[in-house]
C-alpha cells in the first residue's frame, strides 16, 4: 500500500482527492492537513466521506508528511513551493495541484501569480503532469506539476492539430466555459448561487493565469510560436469544463476525424467521439475522461474542436491520481475506473 498525504484538504480539489483515494485499492491516506480546520474530522466537513475517511485535519507537519511515500498539495498557489524541497530531500514524491511548478520561466510565474518563487531551481526538474504528453517523464519524476483545469481541456484539444502541423498557429482561439467549482470553495459573493445561478458571463478577458500555462505547452508542441486568445466563462453548473477551440486549417482535405481518432487511440482517458458529435460535460461528471469532437463547419477553413472534462477530476484530482499511478508503477487507471454520473 502506498502511503499518501494530502496538504490542504478543505478545498474542492482536496475533497475530490479524498473521494477518489478513499476507495483506491493501493492507497492508504495517512495524513490530511488544513491550517484552518485543525482537529475537525474530515467527514464532519464533507459528509459524503462519513464512513470512508476517519481522520481529522491536522496542522501541516514535515515529520508526518515525510512518513508518506507521496504528498499531494491541494493548496493555494505559493504553498507547495515552501515544503517541496524538504519533502523531495526526504525521498517523498510530490504532486502539486496548484501552479507553483507549472511555469518553467520564473519571471512569467512571478508576473502572473505575483508571488516570489521559493525554489526556482526545481522548475527545470518538475514534470508537467499531462500523461498524454509526458507519460515517460512522469514515470521517472520526483516532482509533478499537475496541469490546470482549463489547460488540460485546451491542450488536449489542440494537441493532435499541432503535432500534425495542419493549422495556422498565430491565431488560435480557446473559448472556454467552466462550472463554478473551478473558482474554489471560498466565501465569495460572485460565486453565490444567487449571483452565479441562472446567469452566464465571461471573465478575465484581459488576461487569465491559465493563459501563459497554455501558451507554454502549445509552444512546446509547435514548430512556430503560438498566438492564443483565451476567454474563460462562468457556467451556472457545479462541475465541468467545455473548451471550444478555433483554428484555421491549412490543409482543406485533411482527415481531421481520422487524425484525432488515431492520435488518442491508446489513451485510457481521452475519448474521441464519432464525427458530428457534441460532447457534453455531464458525460464526464465525476470521471477522469476527456471527451473530444472535431468539426469543420460548412467544410470551410475553420476547424472547431469541442473538448470536455470534469474540472475536479481530469482537470485536478483525477489527473493527479493518474500521475501518482504512473510515478509509482501502478496501473494507470487504478482507482479511476468508475463511469461518469449521468444524469
Q: Which positions are catalytic?
A: 149
- Describe the crossing of helices 210-220 and 149-164 by its angle, rounded to 10 degrees: 20
Cell of residue 95, nine digits: 504532486
Shortest separation between residue 109's beta carbon and a copy of itself, angstroms? 17
66, 115, 175, 209: which one binds a copy of itself (CB under 8 A)? 175
Of 231 and 259, which has the nearer Cβ to a copy of itself? Answer: 231
Helix, strand or coil for residue 299? helix
The reply to whether 180 sits near a copy of itself by the rule CB under 8 A is yes
114, 136, 165, 188: which one binds a copy of itself (CB under 8 A)? 188
The reply to whether 339 sits near a copy of itself by the rule CB under 8 A is yes
Do the strands 228-234 and 241-248 form a parallel or antiparallel pair, or are they unpaired? unpaired
The reply to whether 38 sits near a copy of itself by the rule CB under 8 A is no
What's the CA gap between 115 and 100, in Å, rounded? Answer: 9
What's the CA gap between 129 and 320, in Å, rounded? Answer: 8
Of 87 and 294, which has the nearer Cβ to a copy of itself? Answer: 294
Of 62 and 341, which has the nearer Cβ to a copy of itself? Answer: 341
Of 45 and 106, which has the nearer Cβ to a copy of itself? Answer: 45
Shortest separation between residue 124's beta carbon and a copy of itself, angstroms? 27
Shortest separation between residue 21's beta carbon and a copy of itself, angstroms? 10
219, 280, 328, 334: which one binds a copy of itself (CB under 8 A)? 280
Helix, strand or coil for residue 207? coil
Of 253 and 329, which has the nearer Cβ to a copy of itself? Answer: 253
Nearest of 308, 24, 16 to residue 4 by alpha carbon: 24
Residues of this chain, 282-321, that bind a copy of itself according to CB under 8 A: 282-287, 291, 293, 295, 297-298, 300-302, 304, 306, 308, 312
Peptide bond into 343 cis (omega under 30): yes
The reply to whether 261 sits near a copy of itself by the rule CB under 8 A is no
Q: Report yes or no: 242 and 308 within 8 Å, Cβ to Cβ.
A: yes
1, 38, 62, 342: which one binds a copy of itself (CB under 8 A)? 342
The reply to whether 111 sits near a copy of itself by the rule CB under 8 A is no
Length of the chain: 343
Residues of this chain, 216-255, that bind a copy of itself according to CB under 8 A: 227, 229-231, 233, 235-240, 242, 244, 246, 248
Q: For Cα atoms 128, 329, 327, give the angle at the middle one, nearest 5 degrees.
A: 20
197, 225, 252, 331: which one binds a copy of itself (CB under 8 A)? 197
Nearest of 188, 323, 342 to residue 334 by alpha carbon: 323
Q: 44-83 mask for a copy of itself (x: CB under 8 A)?
A: --xxxxxxx-------------------------------
Nearest of 4, 66, 62 to residue 32 by alpha carbon: 4
Shortest separation between residue 8's beta carbon and a copy of itself, angstroms? 16
What's the CA gap between 72 and 97, in Å, rounded? Answer: 7
CB atoms within 10 A of CB 282: 16
Q: Report yes or no: 29 and 43 within 8 Å, Cβ to Cβ.
A: no
Of 49 and 87, which has the nearer Cβ to a copy of itself? Answer: 49
Amino acid at each position: 500500500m502506498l502511503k499518501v498525504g494530502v496538504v490542504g484538504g478543505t478545498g474542492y480539489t482536496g475533497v475530490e482527492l479524498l473521494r477518489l483515494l478513499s476507495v483506491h485499492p493501493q492507497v492508504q491516506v495517512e495524513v490530511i492537513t488544513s491550517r484552518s480546520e485543525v482537529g475537525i474530522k474530515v467527514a464532519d466537513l464533507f459528509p459524503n466521506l462519513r464512513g470512508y475517511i476517519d481522520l481529522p485535519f491536522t496542522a501541516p507537519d514535515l515529520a508526518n508528511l515525510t512518513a508518506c511515500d507521496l504528498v499531494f498539495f491541494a493548496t493555494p498557489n505559493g504553498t507547495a513551493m515552501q515544503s517541496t524541497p524538504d519533502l523531495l530531500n526526504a525521498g517523498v514524491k510530490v504532486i502539486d495541484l496548484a501552479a507553483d511548478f507549472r511555469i518553467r520561466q520564473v519571471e512569467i510565474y512571478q508576473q502572473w501569480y505575483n508571488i516570489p518563487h521559493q525554489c526556482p531551481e526545481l522548475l527545470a526538474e518538475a514534470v508537467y503532469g499531462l500523461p498524454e504528453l509526458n507519460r515517460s517523464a512522469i514515470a521517472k519524476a520526483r516532482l509533478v506539476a499537475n496541469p490546470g483545469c482549463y489547460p488540460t481541456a485546451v491542450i488536449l484539444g489542440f494537441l493532435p492539430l499541432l503535432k500534425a502541423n495542419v493549422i495556422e498557429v498565430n491565431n488560435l482561439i480557446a473559448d472556454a466555459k467552466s462550472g463554478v467549482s473551478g473558482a474554489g470553495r471560498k466565501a465569495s459573493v460572485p460565486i453565490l448561487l444567487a449571483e452565479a445561478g441562472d446567469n452566464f458571463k465571461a471573465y478575465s478577458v484581459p488576461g487569465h493565469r491559465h493563459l501563459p500555462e497554455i501558451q507554454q505547452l502549445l509552444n512546446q508542441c509547435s514548430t512556430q510560436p503560438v498566438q492564443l486568445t483565451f476567454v474563460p466563462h462562468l457556467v451556472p453548473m457545479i462541475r465541468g469544463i467545455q473548451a471550444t477551440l478555433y483554428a484555421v486549417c491549412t490543409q482543406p482535405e485533411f482527415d481531421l476525424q481520422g487524425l484525432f481518432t488515431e492520435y488518442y487511440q491508446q489513451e485510457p482517458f481521452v475519448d474521441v467521439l464519432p464525427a458530428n458529435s457534441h460532447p457534453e460535460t455531464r458525460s464526464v461528471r465525476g470521471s477522469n475522461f476527456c471527451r473530444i469532437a472535431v468539426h469543420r463547419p460548412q467544410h470551410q477553413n475553420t476547424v472547431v474542436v469541442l473538448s470536455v472534462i470534469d474540472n475536479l477530476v481530469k482537470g485536478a484530482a483525477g489527473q493527479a491520481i493518474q500521475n501518482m499511478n504512473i510515478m509509482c508503477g501502478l496501473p494507470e487507471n487504478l482507482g479511476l475506473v468508475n463511469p461518469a454520473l449521468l444524469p
